[in-house]
């Protein structure tokens, strides 16, 4: 059941002995890096420590990451067995991820597939030719929900999960995500309008199908 831990400001969607499913705010790191910035992993570990009165270090690993400026659902493994089995689901594309985004402009084709090849370096992804030896296939399905004021609200189902994939592919189309200055947005806002709103996967131990949803902070 979703609840907000006010002390740690953590939005918890689900927790049992094996996994923790939470929401990440935009402009929050998923995992610690070389900076001193707070991360979702730090907050979640502190929550687990207090919730279950755990002394010492807490085992908690995200099985996927969201870019710092992106908000949405993140799954953590609480045991090594859960981590291994969830990683296996990722390798076999059994974890289904869905996003909602607000882009600049109006798409001519209201739904369809985007298929490109990506290469990333220096913290940015670029669309490249298939023949590039470092190219990786990037594929997604999208559908326009609403259009207004030369902006479009779009839902996306990821088929591959590449670095900055959604951001790079829509920018390449000439429709960058609103607020995403790194990929060409001309609209200033504090948070980019990209949110992972739904995720489906099998529980690593019970094998039960799980589905979690989250509302974005933006709309059209």
pLDDT tens per residue across span 170-194: 999 999 999 999 999 999 888 999 9
Do 78 and 34 sit in the same domain of this protein?
yes
pLDDT tens-digit map of 68-126: 999 999 999 999 999 999 999 999 999 999 999 999 999 999 999 999 999 988 789 99
The strand pair at 61-62 and 96-104 is best described as unpaired
- Quote the mean pLDDT of the chain: 93
Helix extents (H) in 52-164? 80-91
pLDDT of residue 1: 43
| Domain count within the chain | 2
With 90 as the cut, is the pLDDT of residue 165 above it? Answer: yes
Q: What is the dihedral of CA 219, 41, 67, 21, to 10 degrees?
A: -50
With 90 as the cut, is the pLDDT of residue 63 above it? Answer: yes
Do 120 and 169 sit in the same domain of this protein?
yes
Q: Which pair of structure tokens corresponds to residue 19?
A: 């996994």
- Percent of the chain whose predicted confidence (pLDDT) is above 70: 96
pLDDT of residue 56: 85
Helix extents (H) in the chain? 40-51, 80-91, 165-172
With 90 as the cut, is the pLDDT of residue 9 above it? Answer: no
Question: Which carries the bigger pLDDT value, residue 3 or residue 60?
Answer: 60
Radius of gyration of the chain (CA): 18
**Residue 127 belongs to some domain of the structure:** yes
**Residue 218 belongs to some domain of the structure:** no
Ramachandran bin of 213, using left for φ above 0, alpha for ψ from -120 to 50, beta for the remaining angles:
beta
Domain extent for 141:
98-195
Mean pLDDT confidence for 13-23: 97
pLDDT of residue 219: 86
Do 37 and 121 sit in the same domain of this protein?
no
Whole-angstrom distance, CA of residue 108 vs CA of residue 177: 16
CA angle, residues 219, 165, 126, in degrees to nearest 5: 125
Instruction: Using the structure block, give the residue that is written with the tokens 């509302």.
Output: 215
With 90 as the cut, is the pLDDT of residue 34 above it? Answer: no
Q: Which pair of structure tokens corresponds to residue 88?
A: 């296996």
With 70 as the cut, is the pLDDT of residue 204 above it? Answer: yes
User: Residue 66 is part of a domain; what is its CATH number?
Assistant: 3.30.2350.10
- What is the pLDDT confidence band of residue 7, given thresholds at 50, 70 and 90? very low
Q: Is the Cβ–Cβ distance between 117 and 128 less than 8 Å?
A: yes
Do 22 and 105 sit in the same domain of this protein?
no
């Amino acid at each position: 059941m979703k609840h907000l831990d006010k002390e740690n400001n953590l939005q918890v969607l689900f927790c049992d002995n094996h996994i923790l499913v939470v929401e990440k705010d935009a402009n929050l790191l998923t995992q610690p890096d070389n900076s001193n910035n707070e991360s979702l992993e730090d907050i979640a570990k502190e929550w687990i420590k207090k919730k279950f009165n755990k002394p010492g270090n807490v085992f908690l690993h995200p099985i996927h990451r969201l870019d710092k400026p992106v908000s949405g659902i993140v799954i953590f493994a609480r045991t090594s067995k859960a981590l291994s089995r969830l990683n296996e689901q990722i390798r076999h594309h059994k974890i289904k991820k869905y996003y909602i985004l607000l882009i600049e402009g109006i798409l001519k084709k209201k739904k369809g597939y985007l298929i490109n090849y990506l290469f990333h370096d220096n913290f940015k992804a670029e669309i490249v030719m298939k023949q590039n030896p470092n190219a990786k296939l990037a594929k997604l399905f999208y559908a326009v929900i609403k259009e207004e004021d030369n902006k479009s609200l779009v839902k996306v189902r990821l088929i591959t999960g590449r670095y900055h994939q959604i951001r790079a592919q829509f920018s390449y189309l000439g429709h960058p995500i609103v607020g995403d200055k790194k990929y060409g947005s001309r609209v200033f806002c504090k948070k980019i309008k990209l949110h992972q709103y739904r995720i489906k996967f099998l529980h690593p131990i019970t094998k039960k199908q799980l589905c979690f949803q989250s509302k974005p902070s933006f709309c059209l």
